[in-house]
Amino acid sequence: MHSAANPIMPIPGLIDPVPVPRAVTPREDGRVDMLGLTRAQMKGALEEAGLDQKAAKLRSKQLFHWLYHRGETDFEKMTDLAKPMRLWMAERFIVGRPQVVEAQVSNDGTRKWLLRSDDGQDYEMVFIPDADRGTLCVSSQVGCTLNCSFCHTGTMRLVRNLTPGEIVGQVMLARDALGEWPKGSMASVNDDEADDEAQYTADGRMLTNIVMMGMGEPLYNFDHVRDALKLVMDGDGLALSKRRITLSTSGVVPMMARAAEEIGVNLAVSLHAVTKEVRDELVPLNRKYGIEELLQACADYPKANNARRITFEYVMIKDKNDSDADAHELVRLIRKYKLPAKVNLIPFNPWPGTDYECSSQERIRAFSTIVFEGGISAPVRTPRGRDIMAACGQLKSASEKKSKAEMKRLAEEKQAALG
């Protein structure tokens, strides 16, 4: 049994004040979910459960490998643990996965999962296969506090940070679904030197890249995102290179230097506008951290970690941010800050209730040409998985609507029963 006094796994009360995350949701059977724990946290959990320090250290190293490198969830299959030890663990721990509420496959191969946490919060992840790569779009929060006017996630009422386990759990679930866990040997577990060496290669695999571009603002959940990505990048963990991971931020300037130092993955910045007036409307966080301040932070980012160029995301909204003048100003700004940058032009994806429309194809092409002639690569992102509503926040909202309809039906039934 774990107790509330356990220092590595604080267990707050059952009712979370939104948006404070719950690190560990107590399970009815009293077992502790190891998903998302670091080696040190696993060691702590094993000691808490009664192992001595030395045993806890060795076992945590073995467990780490089984959990994150091999994707094993069944203690019984962890063959280098003695049988009684496997049983002892299975009585006290589990290795969980996010619960899948809905899984959909688009006719273009895009897959989308609606997931549910132990405390009943819904979030989503999307997998986008391409010819030479496969990108998993991972969520960092349930909902988002930032209320960008063009983004459906921002309209969601409920917000909570996802835990490291819920974040890394998305990647692990995708590997389960794609059958992409390496077979590997246990050699590295007994060799201290091997820890940082990625034995896992992206060659021939479907899931090669990760983008933190699902629901939520990752830099508003910094610690959990960092801890989860550390597990993803660990050579004896999921072993994905930091060059294949991109974190997208709407521009949380004060956290960007820390992101460079403590996470060190590629950075994408949701710029979306080049004037204060328009960016204030589209990305209200701009009122706090303006365009110039944001671009200065971008200029400092690669210096801090030798990252490759920064990607600017720019959603194309009709008559809002898509003029020739906007394109020229974008080029000027990127040049002014000498940014090694590329611009991703994203056709606006409309959702029920929005007043915005997507720019015409010709407008997007003209915009792209101007930026390109300014010496900056400006590809147009092809919309994927539209038939399964694979854009930001849409599946979750659809299921919320369903439950609202259900509630209405229940209310009507109740009414009928009463009278």
Residues with a known catalytic role? 124, 392
The total of other beta-carbon atoms located within 10 Å of residue 403's CB is 10
Question: Which residue has 């700004």 as its token pair?
Answer: 333
Q: Rounded to the nearest 5°, which phi and psi values hold at 245?
A: -120, 135
State how far the Cα of 41 lies from the Cα of 397, in Å rounded to an integer. 35
The total of other beta-carbon atoms located within 10 Å of residue 368's CB is 19
Per rule CB under 6 A, is residue 156 in the interface with ligand SF4? no
State how far the Cα of 1 lies from the Cα of 14, in Å rounded to an integer. 17
Minimum Å gap between C-beta 354 and ligand SF4 is 12
Q: Which is nearer to ligand SF4, 204 or 352 (CB)?
A: 352
Q: Which is nearer to ligand SAH, 85 or 380 (CB)?
A: 380
Q: Which is nearer to ligand SAH, 215 or 327 (CB)?
A: 215
Minimum Å gap between C-beta 140 and ligand SF4 is 9
C-alpha triplet 200, 175, 379: angle, nearest 5°? 85
Say which amino acid occupies 410: L
Per rule CB under 6 A, is residue 153 in the interface with ligand SF4? yes
Per rule CB under 6 A, is residue 148 in the interface with ligand SF4? yes
Does the annotation list 248 as a binding residue?
yes
Binding marks (x or -) toward ligand SF4, 243..282, rule CB under 6 A?
-------x-------------------x------------
Of the candidates 289, 318, 275, the one whose C-alpha atom is nearest the C-alpha of residue 217 is 289
130 in Cβ contact with 118 (< 8 Å): no
Binding marks (x or -) toward ligand SF4, 196..235, rule CB under 6 A?
--------------------xx------------------
240 in Cβ contact with 200 (< 8 Å): yes
Contact residue for ligand SAH among 48, 166, 217, 326 (CB under 6 A): 217
50 in Cβ contact with 27 (< 8 Å): no
Q: Which is nearer to ligand SF4, 134 or 154 (CB)?
A: 154
Residue 162, token pair as written in the block: 């996802």
Contact residue for ligand SAH among 162, 267, 310, 391 (CB under 6 A): 391
Minimum Å gap between C-beta 151 and ligand SAH is 4
Which residues pair with residue 104 across a beta bridge? Answer: 112
Per rule CB under 6 A, is residue 392 in the interface with ligand SAH? yes
Half-sphere exposure in the Cβ direction for 10 (13 Å, CA): 7
Residue 33, token pair as written in the block: 């979910």
Residue 332, token pair as written in the block: 């000027």
Binding marks (x or -) toward ligand SAH, 30..49, rule CB under 6 A?
--------------------
State how far the Cα of 85 lies from the Cα of 76, in Å rounded to an integer. 9
Of the candidates 130, 150, 154, the one whose C-alpha atom is nearest the C-alpha of residue 142 is 154
State how far the Cα of 234 lies from the Cα of 86, in Å rounded to an integer. 24
Minimum Å gap between C-beta 50 and ligand SF4 is 43
Contact residue for ligand SAH among 106, 110, 249, 311 (CB under 6 A): 249
State how far the Cα of 337 lies from the Cα of 406, in Å rounded to an integer. 52
Q: Rounded to the nearest 5°, which phi and psi values hold at 225?
A: -65, -45
**Options 50-58, 202-210, 348-356, 364-372: segment touching ligand SAH (CB under 6 A):** 348-356
Does the annotation list 216 as a binding residue?
yes
Residue 374: strand, helix, or coil: coil
**Options 150-158, 188-196, 297-305, 330-338: segment touching ligand SAH (CB under 6 A):** 150-158
Residues 6+ apart with CB under 8 A from 52: none
Site for ligand SAH in 317-346 (CB under 6 A): 346
Per rule CB under 6 A, is residue 146 in the interface with ligand SF4? yes
Minimum Å gap between C-beta 322 and ligand SAH is 13
Q: Which is nearer to ligand SAH, 25 or 106 (CB)?
A: 106
Minimum Å gap between C-beta 173 and ligand SAH is 19
Rule CB under 6 A: which residues touch ligand SF4? Answer: 144, 146-148, 151, 153-154, 216-217, 250, 270
Residues in contact with ligand SAH by CB under 6 A are: 150-152, 213, 217, 248-250, 270, 313, 315, 346, 348-349, 351, 391-392
Annotated binding site for [4Fe-4S] cluster: 144, 148, 151
